[in-house]
């Protein structure tokens, strides 16, 4: 049986920073929203980190050992006549860490748990890439996104019951939505609560299931949602659209997460809110000075080339860059000037240049 140290792949004398680094690496690898992720492995990692990442809980874990700790954590019942030898549960009471409500786990021990209540159901989140052009990311745009997902059944409105029929109390759990079992162990009796398998925790069942969703309360289909992309958003940034993920019967829908994928521009590069481009000028233009038209996000802008401009000179067009995200103002546009040296000269051009050496 793997203990928490083995799960995170660290030594028993590992520092807090070592444990945190190990968890972040493995959690990123096994996150269920990632391709190839493993939801059960992620939960296992999270459970291990919630204990070893807290100094007090880690000390308690080291004191009683893995098996006893797991047995206590998986039960809501009291410790029995034998007690736990002075084990301090104060760090767990009412605490909630990344989805683990220790008030529920140890509620019956202290009388302060949420006995009979269960965690709110939540639909899965959806992650999608959102391709944008350079200009769309700069100035913002509205998009209709239509992921194929589970949505609340339009006919029964999520109840699972055919219209005109009622919901009845589940006979297996007597309407509580939970099944209570008692397990005898060497250190006492443990009381365990689990979701009723018949009603899936709802406590009620339809007298006649909905013909559209077969009583599930949700159906799978494409549903468009209009998303407003703010001006100034950058490549790789994530937009969260609350409640537009997968629907679930009797609970809240998950969220929709859109990762911006900005397409490359043939002429512009972007760094933060600044735009960069390059322009070529002739040798006479660089030597004598001139004005050239430079393409920017706002169209062509006249740029003055001073006399004697050197190749590689960078010039700034103030406030011609990308609008700042969620605030006023804009970045700048930087133009790198490259002087083009001709490869072929006429006799007259050659003679004029040779005179410069005198």
Instruction: Summarize the annotated binding site for Zn(2+) as residue ranges.
Output: 153, 156, 170, 173, 196, 199, 210, 213
Residue ranges of alpha helices (H) inside the chain are: 4-8, 16-30, 39-52, 55-64, 66-73, 102-105, 107-110, 134-139, 283-288, 347-354
Given the structure tokens 């390059």, which residue do they identify? 278
- SS3 call for 267: coil
Token pair, residue 94, equals 């009412």
3-state secondary structure of 351: helix
- Report which of 309, 317, 302 is spatially closest to residue 339, judged by C-alpha positions: 309
CA neighbor of 305 nearest in space, from 290, 326, 327, 288: 290
Angle between helix 55-64 and 39-52 (nearest 10): 100
Which structure tokens are listed for 84?
Answer: 């736990």
- Reduce the DSSP state of residue 237 to 3 states and report it: coil
* Separation CA 146–CA 137 (nearest Å): 20
Residues paired with residue 179 on neighbouring β-strands, in sequence order? 194
Binding site, annotated residues = 153, 156, 170, 173, 196, 199, 210, 213
Cα distance between residue 250 and residue 266, in whole Å: 50
* Residue 211, burial from CB neighbour count under 10 angstroms (0-12, 13-18, 19+): exposed
Residue 326 in tokens: 């969620």
């Amino acid at each position: 049986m793997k203990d928490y140290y083995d799960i995170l792949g660290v030594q028993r004398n590992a520092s807090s920073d070592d444990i945190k680094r190990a968890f972040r690496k493995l959690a990123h690898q096994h996150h269920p929203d990632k391709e190839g992720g493993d939801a059960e492995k992620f939960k296992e990692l999270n459970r291990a980190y919630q204990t070893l990442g807290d100094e007090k809980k880690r000390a308690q874990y080291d004191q009683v050992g893995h098996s006893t700790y797991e047995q206590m954590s998986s039960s809501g019942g009291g410790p029995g006549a034998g007690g736990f030898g002075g084990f301090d549960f104060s760090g767990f009471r009412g605490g909630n860490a990344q989805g683990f409500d220790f008030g529920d786990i140890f509620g019956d021990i202290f009388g302060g748990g949420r006995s009979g209540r269960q965690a709110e159901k939540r639909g899965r989140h959806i992650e999608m890439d959102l391709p944008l052009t350079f200009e769309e990311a700069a100035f913002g745009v509205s998009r209709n996104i239509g992921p194929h997902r589970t949505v609340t059944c339009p006919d029964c409105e999520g109840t699972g019951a055919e219209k005109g029929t009622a919901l009845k109390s589940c006979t297996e759990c007597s309407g509580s939505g939970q099944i209570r079992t008692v397990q005898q162990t060497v250190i006492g009796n443990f009381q365990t609560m689990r979701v009723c398998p018949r009603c899936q925790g709802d406590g009620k069942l339809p007298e006649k299931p909905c013909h559209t969703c077969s009583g599930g309360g949700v159906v799978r289909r494409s549903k468009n949602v209009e998303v407003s992309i703010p001006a100034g958003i950058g490549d790789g940034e994530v937009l969260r659209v609350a409640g537009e993920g997968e629907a679930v019967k009797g609970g809240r829908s998950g969220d929709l997460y859109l990762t911006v994928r900005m397409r490359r521009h043939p002429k512009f590069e972007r760094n933060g809110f600044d735009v960069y481009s390059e322009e070529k000028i002739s040798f006479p233009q660089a030597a004598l000075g001139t004005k050239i038209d430079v393409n920017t996000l706002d169209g062509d802008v006249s740029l003055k080339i001073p006399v004697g401009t050197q190749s590689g000179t960078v010039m700034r067009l103030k406030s011609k860059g990308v609008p700042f995200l969620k605030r006023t103002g804009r970045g700048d546009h930087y133009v790198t000037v490259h002087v083009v040296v001709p490869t072929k000269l006429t006799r007259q051009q050659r003679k004029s240049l040779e005179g410069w050496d005198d």
